[in-house]
Amino acid sequence: MKFTKMQGLGNDYVYLHCSGAVPDDLPALARRLSDRHFGIGSDGLILILPSAQADFHMQMFNADGSEGLMCGNGIRCVGKYVYDKRLTNHTALRIETASGVKDITLTISDKNTVAAVSVDMGGAVIENTISIHFAGKDYRFTPVAVGNPHLVCFVDDVSAAPVETLGAQLQADARFSGGINVEFLQIHRSDYASMRVYERGSGETLACGTGACAAFAVAESLKLLKPQATLALLGGELSLTLRTDGHILMTGNAVTVFEGDIQI
């Protein structure tokens, strides 16, 4: 089966275009293909499927085989995939995901390929802050839903944040039985912040689109960030805008890494 490996800010996935039959046992396939030593290597698997209610349907699985609801970096790459492969000639698309239909807008380069993608991520649902005790210290986290569930914590130095250790502990916390994405955010200016993220099912990744939106939403609600700001992640930067309708517009790159054939 033909595959394409793509990345958005280093958040990389293996993409399969399934216009007909879908491979069996997708969780096992995601684990196999995502393995960075014995597989292709990725943060997960994304299938591009037909949709009865949108232009295309995106189904995603994390590297551990668990199915995800939505991926901001992944959906940008879906937009690039379908345009660059001439599955569509439209630059405004609707993509069906497990968390609803998302509208995306493609920016086309002079080579007639997609250079960047903007995604209407919808609104963020912010809950009351909770306290987490870890390694003799109390951390304040704000639960946020942006398609996926997130916990956002403000830190003074994101480079020293306990991303892997505390992120792993929170996956085993009974309060988050389905796993949780964890973001650590450092504010630099009112229009610029940096973030690291622990994604459920994958561990620390170079970027997380829904996580960036979650962190931005909390910071903007506290007036720590302006309604238009840039978030720097380990894999690059995302532009985020809070629209007047309460939706978050996320803009970032989408890159094809390589393509090949693999026996399923």
Residue pLDDT, tens place only, 180-224: 999 999 999 999 999 999 999 889 999 999 999 999 999 999 999
For residues 119 and 249, give the distance between their C-alpha atoms in angstroms, rounded to a whole number: 6
Lookup result for tokens 């026996």 = 263
CATH 3.10.310.10 residue ranges of the chain are 2-119+253-261, 125-246
* pLDDT-based confidence at residue 147 (cuts at 50, 70, 90): confident
Average pLDDT estimate for 96-104: 95
Q: Are strands 148-154 and 92-97 parallel, antiparallel or unpaired?
A: unpaired
* Residue 150 token pair: 């997130």
| Active-site residue flag, 71 | yes
Burial of 9 (0-12, 13-18, 19+ CB in 10 A): buried
What is the average pLDDT score of the chain?
96
Decide if pLDDT at 84 tops 90: yes
Quick one: CATH architecture of 125-246?
Roll (3.10)
Q: Which residue is catalytic, options 77, 153, 208, 213?
A: 208
Q: Which residue is catalytic, options 18, 71, 77, 153?
A: 71
| Active-site residue flag, 213 | no
Q: Are strands 181-189 and 137-146 parallel, antiparallel or unpaired?
A: unpaired
Phi, psi of 208 (to 5 degrees): -150, 115
Residue 89: predicted pLDDT: 97
CATH code of the domain made up of 2-119+253-261: 3.10.310.10
